[in-house]
Amino acid sequence: MQGSFSRRVAGPRGISFGFGGPPPPDVIAILVVLFVTYSMQYFESTAIIPLLLLLTPAVVRGFLWQLATYPFVGFGAQGLWFLLWLLMIFWFGRDVFWRLGRKRFWTTLLVAAVGSALVAVAAQLATDALGGPVSAQPFVIMQGQYTLMTMLVAAFATVYGDATILLFFVLPVKARWFLPLEILFAFMAFLTSKDVAGFAGLCAAVLITYLLLVSGGIGGTFRRFRRRIERFLLERRLARLRRGRDFDVIEGKRDRWVN
């Protein structure tokens, strides 16, 4: 959701502005880690640490921890915008955490993060092999808080679909519509960066988060999809059998009439 800003308002399920109630310690810990790693890049002695934790092409050379660590590294140029990112992560993370609980919250973030990174790496390898558009910084639009925010907003849109969000603090939008909107925001970021891998990773983050939280999770979604396919194929087969049986009966009557 790079480049977009939104704020929640009270919705049909009682969503607050994010300041009511005790802040989840897990979300506070995430904010602290993001701020510390963001600050490290400006000190020569510690700049190497966030570089090792961000997602880079080195992941295919054995830096496998980057598949899980990159969303929790503060990323971007110096400025007050980063503080606004932290505030939005607190808003969305707070409500998502209390809705999902600690175990499901972390499972969703980690599975979606690793899955998105794998998709992004595969997209980068395919782009290199096919000679597609080259980005000066692969994965740049999905680094750090960009993917984390994407996952949290996708989670919020899934579990609080009827809540209202003020897009750009102005336009009221139902939370569920942020699922396709996040894809649009990712595409706009791709247009300026030519980061195919990052775009694929952000799209995967939205899809995986949704599938993890929709009724039945990923397994339940695929089971329902399989049952629909099986029912469709069965209906087509029965339709062919009915057409074949009707044709035989008509031909049989016609033959008897001619005789």
For the chain, give the DSSP string. Answer: -TT--EEEE--TT----S-SSPPPHHHHHHHHHHHHHHHHTTSTTTTHHHHHHS--GGGGGT-TTHHHHGGGS--S-SSTHHHHHHHHHHHHHHHHHHHH-HHHHHHHHHHHHHHHHHHHHHHHHHHHHHT-PPPSSTTGGGSTHHHHHHHHHHHHHHHTTTSEEEETTTEEEEGGGHHHHHHHHHHHHHHHH--HHHHHHHHHHHHHHHHHHSTTHHHHHHHHHHHHHHHHHHHHHHHHHHHHHHHHHHHHHHHHHH-
- Say which residue the tokens 């932290």 belong to: 86
The confidence score (pLDDT) of residue 128 equals: 84
Rounded to whole angstroms, the Cα distance separating 76 from 145 reads 9
Residues 111 and 237 occupy one common structural domain? no
Q: Does residue 189 share a domain with residue 95? A: yes
Q: Are residues 130 and 237 in the same domain?
A: no
Please tell me the distance from the alpha carbon of residue 241 to that of residue 211, in angstroms, as a whole number: 36
Please tell me whether residues 239 and 135 are part of one structural domain: no
Q: How far apart are CA 11 and CA 165, in angstroms?
A: 8
pLDDT tens digit at each of 259 positions of the chain? 554 444 444 443 444 444 445 789 999 999 999 999 999 999 989 999 999 999 999 999 999 999 999 999 998 867 788 898 999 999 899 999 999 999 999 999 999 999 999 999 999 999 888 876 666 788 999 999 999 999 999 999 999 888 877 766 667 778 888 899 899 999 999 998 889 999 999 999 999 999 999 965 555 555 555 666 767 677 777 777 776 655 454 444 444 444 4
Sign of the torsion angle spanned by Cα atoms 94, 95, 96, 101: positive
DSSP 139-157: TGGGSTHHHHHHHHHHHHH
Claim to verify: residue 195 and residue 225 sit in the same structural domain: no
| The last residue of a domain, from among 177, 196, 214 | 214
Q: Position of tokens 């990112």?
A: 85
Answer whether residue 76 is part of any domain: yes
pLDDT for 172:
77
Residue 124 and residue 57 in contact, taking contact as beta carbons nearer than 8 Å: yes
Do 11 and 86 belong together in one domain?
yes
Residues sharing a CB contact under 8 Å with residue 253, sequence separation 6 or more, in sequence order: none
Instruction: Say if residue 94 is in the same domain as residue 148.
Output: yes
Q: Say if residue 27 is in the same domain as residue 129.
A: yes
With both helix axes pointing from N to C terminus, report the angle between 25-40 and 102-130 in degrees, rounded to the nearest 10: 40
Domain shared by 36 and 117, yes or no: yes
Q: Are both 154 and 41 inside the same structural domain? A: yes
Identify the CATH number of the domain in which residue 81 sits. 1.20.1540.10
* Domain assignment of residue 63, yes or no: yes
Question: Are 135 and 258 in a shared domain?
Answer: no
The phi, psi pair for 162, rounded to 5°, reads -90, -5
Q: Which of 194, 214, 234 is the last residue of a domain?
A: 214
C-alpha distances (whole Å) from 45 to each of 42, 66, 73, 155 are: 9, 20, 17, 37
Q: Is residue 1 one of the residues assigned to a domain?
A: no
What pLDDT, on the 0 to 100 scale, is given for residue 235? Answer: 73
Domain around 154: 6-214
Domain count, the chain: 2
Does residue 89 sit within a domain? yes
pLDDT of amino acid 28: 95
Q: How far apart are CA 138 and CA 126, in angstroms?
A: 13
